[in-house]
């Protein structure tokens, strides 16, 4: 059995769909703190799980004895700055509970997402390497950095086969983003189709590493399928994705919706968060260790997003 915790989130929703397609619906237990969203309702086994409730979480591990666990429950960067202690508690204590039960129940593999948010103002801004100065200044960012240290620690001390990816900002059409700084890159598509215009909360020239959800899910599954001896990094793997600005994304959308109008909100707290993150990432380690290769560039992603969103908006 595969347990996905945080199944209602932007990554969780898509991961449940992908894993059920591979392993069969009944093999994948979706779970989250609240009831399933439309996207996965009535589509297979579902449990209410609160990673901060040890008894509840222990009961789920005992009931299913999962061979794989994907822990996607987290509070993201923007919401995390509004609720710093809650973000630290959920992201950190939640992870440690899962690590402990994975060891207790001998879970074969654990996946846990990190983020480019682990880098900070003094990290190299371009082609940010796997190892460098990391001084994240958001609670989300340093909870992910601390989480990477815990993940590697449980691999070394307990032999737990835990694997992780530092995701760029993710863009997909199956599920809404969860209160992050890169959410603009999803909202813009919905607004372009519904209203023909969008007011970006990040400035026109804010370059960020982003990635289409198809690539992010494929990377996750290929990392988890790779033989353990190929996984040389047990903190978290950099993934580069595609780096672009809101202006470049708007221009790409205009190739499909010529009347699309882009505007910019001049003050938003998420700008400072975006400015603290790298502009591009070096993912050589992922390419060498487990053969990572990106498929969606900006034009291909934009075309696919609009084509799929058009059908459900
Ligand atoms: C966020 N979407 O904005 C997440 C992600 C790199 C960004 O970690 O917080």
Reduced to 3 states (helix: H, G, I; strand: E, B; else coil), residue 162 is: strand
Burial class of residue 24 in the structure, from the number of CB atoms within 10 Å of its CB (0-12 exposed, 13-18 middle, 19+ buried): exposed
The whole-number pLDDT of residue 30 equals: 97
The whole-number pLDDT of residue 43 equals: 85
Lowest-confidence range among 43-47, 239-243, 276-280, 292-296? 43-47
Q: Give the number of the atom of ligand 1 that is nearest the alpha carbon of residue 177.
A: 2
ipTM above 0.95, yes or no: yes
- pLDDT above 90 for 142: yes
Q: E strands, the chain, where?
A: 2-5, 28-32, 46-48, 68-71, 109-115, 162-167, 169-171, 197-200, 208-212, 237-238, 242-244, 261-264
pLDDT tens digits, 143-182: 999 999 999 999 999 999 999 999 999 999 999 999 999 9
Mean of pLDDT values over 104-114: 98
Mean of pLDDT values over 79-107: 98
Reduced to 3 states (helix: H, G, I; strand: E, B; else coil), residue 210 is: strand
Rounded Cα distance between 72 and 16, Å, is 11
The whole-number pLDDT of residue 294 equals: 98
- Ligand 1: centre distance to CA 264 (Å): 20
- pLDDT above 90 for 38: no
Protein residue with least CA distance to atom 3, ligand 1:
180
CB 173 within 8 A of CB 312: yes
In this structure, the residues whose C-beta lies within 6 A of any atom of ligand 1 are 76-77, 115-117, 140, 168-170, 180-182
Q: How high does pLDDT run on average in the chain?
A: 97
Protein residue with least CA distance to atom 7, ligand 1:
169
Q: Give the number of the atom of ligand 1 that is nearest the alpha carbon of residue 77.
A: 9
Judge if pTM exceeds 0.95. Answer: yes
| Active site (catalytic) residues | 140
């Amino acid at each position: 059995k595969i347990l996905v915790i945080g199944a209602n989130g932007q990554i969780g929703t898509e991961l449940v769909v992908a894993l059920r397609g591979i392993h069969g619906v009944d093999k994948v237990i979706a779970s989250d703190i609240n009831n399933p969203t439309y996207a996965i309702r009535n589509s297979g086994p579902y449990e209410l799980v609160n990673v901060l409730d040890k008894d509840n979480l222990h009961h789920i591990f005992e009931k299913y004895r999962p061979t794989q666990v994907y822990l996607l429950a987290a509070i993201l960067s923007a919401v995390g700055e509004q609720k710093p202690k809650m973000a630290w508690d959920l992201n950190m204590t939640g992870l440690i509970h899962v690590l402990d039960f994975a060891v207790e129940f001998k879970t074969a593999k654990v996946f846990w997402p990190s983020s480019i948010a682990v880098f900070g103002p003094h990290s190299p801004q371009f082609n940010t390497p796997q190892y460098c100065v990391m001084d994240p200044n958001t609670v989300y960012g340093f909870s992910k950095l601390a989480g990477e240290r815990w993940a590697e620690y449980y691999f070394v001390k307990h032999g737990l086969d835990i694997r992780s990816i530092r995701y760029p900002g993710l863009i997909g059409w199956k599920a809404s983003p969860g209160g992050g700084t890169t959410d603009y890159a999803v909202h813009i598509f919905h607004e372009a189709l519904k209203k023909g215009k969008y007011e970006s909360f990040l400035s026109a020239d804010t370059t960020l590493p982003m990635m289409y959800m198809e690539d992010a899910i494929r990377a996750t599954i290929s990392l988890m399928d790779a033989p353990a001896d190929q996984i040389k990094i047990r903190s978290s793997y950099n993934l580069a994705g595609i780096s672009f600005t809101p202006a470049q994304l708007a221009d790409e959308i205009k190739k499909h919706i010529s009347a699309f109008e882009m505007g910019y909100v001049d003050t938003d707290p998420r700008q400072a968060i975006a400015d603290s993150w790298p502009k591009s990432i070096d993912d050589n380690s992922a390419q060498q260790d487990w053969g990572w290769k990106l498929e969606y560039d900006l034009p291909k992603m934009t075309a696919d997003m609009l084509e799929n969103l058009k059908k459900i908006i």
